[in-house]
Copies of this chain bind each other. A is one copy, B any other.
């Protein structure tokens, strides 16, 4: 059975966390909007299909199941593709870590859109400068140190002592933050996170994906945006 992934074309965005899991698992999937255009998602969002009603992309169709919210999708895919340990305690912890990544992603987005996604960045640059300062000086360190400590608990090589989708998502977080805040990121000493991101990028299926044209570049349309004035 092949999955159908629905996400905005043209950006990595939140869909990328799901893509990395599907690609690492070599799961068969169609990136539907990239084949048919973003409009294909409207009918789902308008409630014209049966089943779960998604609030926003990404959402995944797996047989008759419709699953929205990145962390929910990964929680579903993980056990099916050996991307999460077997025990209940570890699955709950993996999900918690992923939900904390979700929180970080919201904050990384809101740095450039502090007064709302309804206005362009250009119309909220002053506010963005203030939010960016706090994000760089307080939030990035807090999140990075948290995940570094989680890795330490996991024995150093994995968030959960063995490989999981959380490792893939931590790679994506580091990739995005490095792109958006190269100066701020250069000041953080997080050796375990750095080594993890490198190892993930070298996993054969991930490396193949990153070298393919399915992996879009970071850009100023995505979540992690590089505006030099927002970096330190």
Contacts and interface: CB of A to CB of B under 8 A. Distances in A.
Interface in A76-114: 76, 88-89, 92-93, 95-96, 99-100, 102-103, 106, 110, 114
Secondary structure type dominating chain A contacts? helix
Interface in A101-147: 102-103, 106, 110, 114-116, 118-119, 124, 127, 130-131, 134-135, 138-139, 146
A130 B116 contact: yes
Interface residues of A, number: 44
Contact of A89 (B52, B88, B99): B52
Contact of A96 (B67, B92, B100): B67
23 contacts: A52-B89, A53-B153, A54-B96, A55-B100, A67-B96, A68-B96, A68-B100, A69-B95, A69-B100, A72-B95, A72-B96, A72-B99, A75-B95, A76-B92, A99-B99, A106-B106, A110-B114, A114-B127, A114-B131, A116-B134, A118-B138, A119-B134, A127-B127
